[in-house]
Structure 1
Amino acid sequence: MSSILRTLFVALTLSASLAFAQTPASSTTPEAREAEVRAAIKAANEALIQGPRIVDIRDQAKFSLPTGMGWIPDTTAARLLRAMGNTVDDKTLAGLVVPTDGKGEWLDVIAYVNDGYVRDDDARDWKADDILESLRKGTENANATRREHGVPELEVTGWAQLPQYDSSTHRLVWAARVAHKQTGGRADNDPSVNYRTTALGRDGYLSTTLVTSESLLTADKPVADKILAGLNFVEGKRYADFNEKTDRVAEYGLAALVAGVAAKKLGLFALIAAFFAKFAKVGVLALLGAGAAFGKFFKRKPKPLPVSQPMPTTDATGTSDVPQSSAPTPSEVAPSAAQPAGNDPRNDTGAPRA
């Protein structure tokens, strides 16, 4: 399996805000499941929103989608995830970011978790070694479930980047190496790295998980930083807007967000790997083009906007200047090279819905 496909498989299961679990066995035939994967990928391609655009993340934030990247909205992204054998928490999934310029071998899952205001007091004296040990224990505890499903057990092998928190921007970055405990005697010479970034807000937090290989981490870090920089809470929803008297506080602090909450989400990518290992026998890998990456799959030349519809910008109030469509609905998708311009999932501010 190519490193590009591996990136796709792992990324689809590592969002800090998604509740992933293997779909229970059913009478659905492999052919029917393959057909759904095919349909889900086609739908994702058709719903793809090309950057540059302003994308609304619930009523909490705006994402400045850069040039060279594409956005798969939540509903379509959820279908894609489910087609690959997962359950998805529709309340947290915001969407997927994919490279559209053919240069990337990564995928980023963006979610918003409405758990309340996360206090960052413990970031001042946390110990990275203790957090890493918590990640390892959480992953080891989850191995019982993996054994039940007959999928490889996992282990956190170390930090790819130590947790770093910027108290001035209330943003957290960390990266962990995750590997299979059993590789059939073959060492993984280029293990996957889960590069996670978190932006704290008044009512919860935005989380992005960029999944890449260790060999590409240095090159892909700017991608993760660019995505995080493009995520900004709207006025009234920022961390500094917290009201001690009226607002809800999360049951965990920042250290637990890294060690406890994240540990429950790490490692479940093995269920996806097992799913595709089975489907390799019935042609899903061929369906995806074997070595074809999402970056190549979505490599379409962006459709230029008419002169009368300038590229979206955001004013001081956070409102996009793209004119609204005549009849937008949540199920409609933005115009792309593969879809008529009449379907545009933009809200009344002109920004595509998350």
Structure 2
Amino acid sequence: MRFIKLIALAILAYALPLAAKEDAAPPLPPEAQEYLKTLNPVSGTVEIPEAKASLDLGSDYVFYGKVDASRILTEIWGNPPEAVSDVLGLVMKAGTSPFSESWGAVVTFEDVGYVSDDDAAEVDYDELLEQLQEGTIEANEVRKEMGYPTVTLVGWAARPVYDDQHHSVVWAKNLKFAGDVENSLNYDVRTLGRYGVLSVNVVSTMSELEEITTAAHELASHASFAEGARYQDFDASTDRTAEYGIGGLIAAGAGVAAAKKLGLFAILLKFIKPILLGFLVFFGVFWRKLKGVFGFGKDDSYDAEWEEYSHDDTPPDDLTGYAAPDDAEGQSVSSAETDSRES
């Protein structure tokens, strides 16, 4: 619990000056600074061996490898370890840190085989959006039964675009969760390879649409597979082929009703993990930041311990020894909650 409060203090140091529109935020607490020293963000060209791929990030972005990404998602952002087991890395803007108010892009790889792009020019994205919206409405019945807020798929935040040169597809959804002041942004970047799909997923708020749109297209154009694993290296006589094309790739995040209409119900399980991981990033950080820092939705025990800590100048000795609170208000994001919020 004290680790969580340390994180909240670090966030408060950033959030309040931003809210007041003052000068640069004060330094992080010493404990958080020491924690950052244990991480190893890198820039330039980074290899992702599990995907036989690489990302050329230049100097604008940094990459946290598999181990560091897992630590950030669990130890700092409070997500369950079992939900991040497939994460291969985390991309953030250069000059930011896991403690700052900034987006992070989760990198995964789905070993689904070669995804044909033959349908890329034929997909009716207006019709697909309607089907996704219908699926979201159906899924809301389950959300309500489980006690979670409903969600509305407002529309495309960025209409799907397929780049046949880089064999990548980029799109974003504008989502409105009941009770939230600001709409959520779910941005997807998929790069196709011979053996599967490299996924980069960002979940943030609509206020960051312009910035993340730029980042998404940069990441899409700078992702590549190693020779032999490239899209053009596909061998139809030996290689496995996915059961869907570009339309199915995008629709994989649909609700059950839309999936049935599209004949895609069987593939939902194949793509549910990276979709949920994107929401882990958002709800593990943004939701807990708001609740933990500004005080709504906390239980009495949290209030009491926060008050105790606020008068205690002694920092925790071991950052990694403290678990995220497990309360009904969602201070940490469970797999059940992310299941209910997937759209």
TM-score, normalising length from structure 1? 0.60
Query: Pick from 140, 144, 148: which aligns with 1:143?
Result: 140
Q: How much does 1:136 deviate?
A: 2.1
Q: Distance in 1 between matches of 2:112 and 2:202?
A: 22
Determine which structure has greater relative contact order: mean sequence separation of CA pairs < 8 Å that are 6+ residues apart, divided by chain length: 1
The 10-residue stretch of structure 1 (62-71 or 101-110) with the greater mean CA deviation from structure 2: 101-110
Q: How much does 1:46 deviate?
A: 2.2
Aligned to 1:34: 4
- Which of the pair is proportionally richer in helix? 2
8 Å CA contact retained: 2:114, 2:195: yes
Q: Distance in 1 between matches of 2:215 and 2:193?
A: 22
Matched, 1:233 2:222: no
Query: Pick from 184, 199, 216: which aligns with 2:191?
Result: 199
Which structure 2 residues correspond to residues 1-354 of structure 1 after superposition, within 5 A? Answer: 31=1, 34=4, 46-83=38-75, 84-86=78-80, 87-88=82-83, 90-91=85-86, 93-102=87-96, 105-180=102-177, 182-183=178-179, 188=181, 190-261=182-253, 264=272, 265=275, 268=279, 272=284, 279=292, 281=298, 282=302
Percent identical: 30
**Residue segments in structure 1 that go unaligned for 5+ positions in a row:** 1-30, 287-354
Q: Distance in 1 between matches of 2:204 and 2:79?
A: 21
Amino acid at match of 1:251: E
1:81 alignment partner, SS class: helix
Aligned residues: 248
Q: Distance in 1 between matches of 2:6 and 2:147?
A: 24
Q: Distance in 2 between matches of 1:32 and 1:248?
A: 49
**Residue segments in structure 2 that go unaligned for 5+ positions in a row:** 9-30, 256-271, 307-343
- Tell me the C-alpha RMSD between the 2 structures: 3.4
Amino acid at match of 1:129: D
Q: How much does 1:166 deviate?
A: 2.0
The 10-residue stretch of structure 1 (214-223 or 269-278) with the greater mean CA deviation from structure 2: 269-278
Q: Distance in 2 between matches of 1:220 and 1:145?
A: 30
Q: Distance in 1 between matches of 2:32 and 2:140?
A: 29
8 Å CA contact retained: 2:185, 2:209: yes
Query: Measured at CA, do residues 134 and 71 of structure 1 come closer, stay the same or move farther in structure 2, by a change above 3 Å?
Result: same
Q: Distance in 1 between matches of 2:165 and 2:220?
A: 15
Query: Measured at CA, do residues 241 and 153 of structure 1 come closer, stay the same or move farther in structure 2, by a change above 3 Å?
Result: same
Q: Distance in 1 between matches of 2:101 and 2:43?
A: 15
Q: Distance in 2 between matches of 1:148 and 1:271?
A: 20
Query: Measured at CA, do residues 195 and 120 of structure 1 come closer, stay the same or move farther in structure 2, by a change above 3 Å?
Result: same
Q: How much does 1:163 deviate?
A: 1.0
1:140 alignment partner, SS class: helix
Query: Measured at CA, do residues 249 and 43 of structure 1 come closer, stay the same or move farther in structure 2, by a change above 3 Å?
Result: farther
Query: Measured at CA, do residues 214 and 61 of structure 1 come closer, stay the same or move farther in structure 2, by a change above 3 Å?
Result: same
Q: Distance in 2 between matches of 1:34 and 1:104?
A: 16
